[in-house]
Amino acid sequence: MRIKIATLAGLKRSLNNGEKGIPGESVMKMFVAGNWIDKPQQIEVRNPFDGSVVDTVPKADTADVDRALAAALEGARLMRALPGYERFRILRATAQLMHGQSGQLARTISLEEGKPIRESRVEVARAIETMELSAEEAKRIGGEVLPMDGASNGARKLAFTLRVPCGVVVAITPFNFPLNLPCHKVGPALAAGNAIVLKPASDTPLVALRLVEILLEAGLPPQVVSCLTGGGESLGEALCTDSRVRKISFTGSREIGEKIIKLAGLKRVTMELGSNCPLIVMDDSDLDHVAQGISVSGYSNAGQTCISTQRVLVMRRVYGDLIDMLQPRVDALKYGNPLNETTNLGPMIRERDAARINQWIDEAVRDGARLVTGGRYDGTHHEATIVADVKSNMRISCQELFGPAVAVTACDNFAEAIRLANDTNYGLSAAIFTRDLDRAMQFCREVDCGNLHVNGGPQWRADLMPYGGLKESGLGKEGPRYAIQEMTETKTVVLHGV
């Protein structure tokens, strides 16, 4: 249902020049093959809250891809020869510089992505930690000694493995965490001794370009990194099919991930894809704690997080009580300008996304679901929404919603909840609230997800942990230590005795 929300016009206002994402710059350049370059064709980066232009960036083409990859080959040779301790020093300096610019980085995220400023500060802090973790791991990359005595023909032989960089890494990142997700690719790639070509989302390229500025200021050789701004359709095929690329790391939708895999051929790939995360609520759980967890994990970043709580599977005995406790918390979420300290619900990145979410909600209600609260949108603002009595075949449940709404379904028993949690092609993150240890352990054994949470929402993540999905939610793991394993290859060395 589309309406004009009376308070929205009063909340929106044009940003003055002092609020541009890149202060003092009217046009942001992109970094290609060691140079900041401009292009005749430009892309406007718009604030999703009020539609104002934050900045413009060049629109890269396939010739820019070729230049970036040619430079990356030389950059990869430089990085391969750079000792791990020197890579550590560059990444540590990067983290320190990011800390000194944390306020400006957070503001840029809020302007180009619409994330409330308090959430943007959390993202910046996490991104700094991701770079710190990557720096530390740069000093720890090594192989293993192989037990040749265990082989029938291994006497008098010594063998070990060497872990070496892949070479050229392409990183393609989405809009929803425009700083931390690039850091989860750039940091490990550099720590491992690779060169990297970064293609940030065209909606949110500004903070990624600022990250490149910081890396160069920290001492990274300019041939080692390029940042191409432009649409994925125009650049993606050129990046993913080029034989100079050895590794592709992508975060985004399942559909685009599948296309990239088909294009990549015999390249190494890491795919962090979508989900529709389930949260099981048992009848022995603390419902106040559950409601608070859902109000955070279902609606932060306007639900635009691949591990947001989407499907709430509740034991029937506490079904009504949980909805009654959740509704006032959701209604209390305050929409507004992301730069305001009191805002805790920001806009969607695009109006068409808000319209799609609203369509799915309306479909569910027409098919018998019950709208508890919310359910309206205006432009990029979609109200925080609860939909109850949801059936598993409704799109709001069986597909990835990626918006500020949760779908609540009643379950008669634990076995039904487990079955519904697994009734999806996705498997990124899932959660259960219960005081019963046996149920918690059964949940961990039987639910097919890469990340499992007991008495916490599925959106929780520590940046050092291995993070990745099962089924169609992806391939490989992120987290600096684990991403480095994905961005390196092993050689086996055998010394033959005489």
Closest to 226 (Cα-Cα) out of 16, 76, 359: 76
Active site residue 306: yes
The neighbour count for residue 408, using CB atoms within 10 Å, is: 24
- The active-site residue out of 112, 119, 137, 272 is 272
Indicate the SS3 state at residue 481.
Answer: helix
Report whether 327 contacts 299 (CB < 8 A): no
Contact 304, 402 (CB under 8 A): yes
The closest alpha carbon to 228, from 46, 103, 71, belongs to 71
Q: What is the DSSP string of 224-262?
A: GEEE--S-HHHHHHHHHH-TT--EEEEES-HHHHHHHHH
From residue 259, give the alpha-carbon distance in Å to each of 253, 263, 315, 353, 486: 10, 6, 39, 21, 20
Instruction: Find out whether 179 and 123 touch, Cβ atoms under 8 Å.
Output: yes
Count of CB atoms situated within 10 Å of the CB of 13:
11
Instruction: Residue 101: name the closest of 230, 213, 255 by CA.
Output: 213
Short-list 461, 465, 474, 481, CA closest to 249:
474
| Annotation marks residue 272 as catalytic | yes
Any idea which residue has 């507004």 for tokens?
A: 336
Q: Which residue has the tokens 């891809």?
A: 65
- Of these residues, 306, 398, 411, 449, which one is catalytic? 306
Separation CA 134–CA 128 (nearest Å): 10
Q: Are 190 and 87 in contact (CB under 8 A)?
A: yes
Pair 30, 37: CB distance under 8 Å: yes
The four Cα atoms 450, 416, 374, 118 give a dihedral, to 10 degrees, of -30
Which residues are part of the catalytic machinery? 272, 306
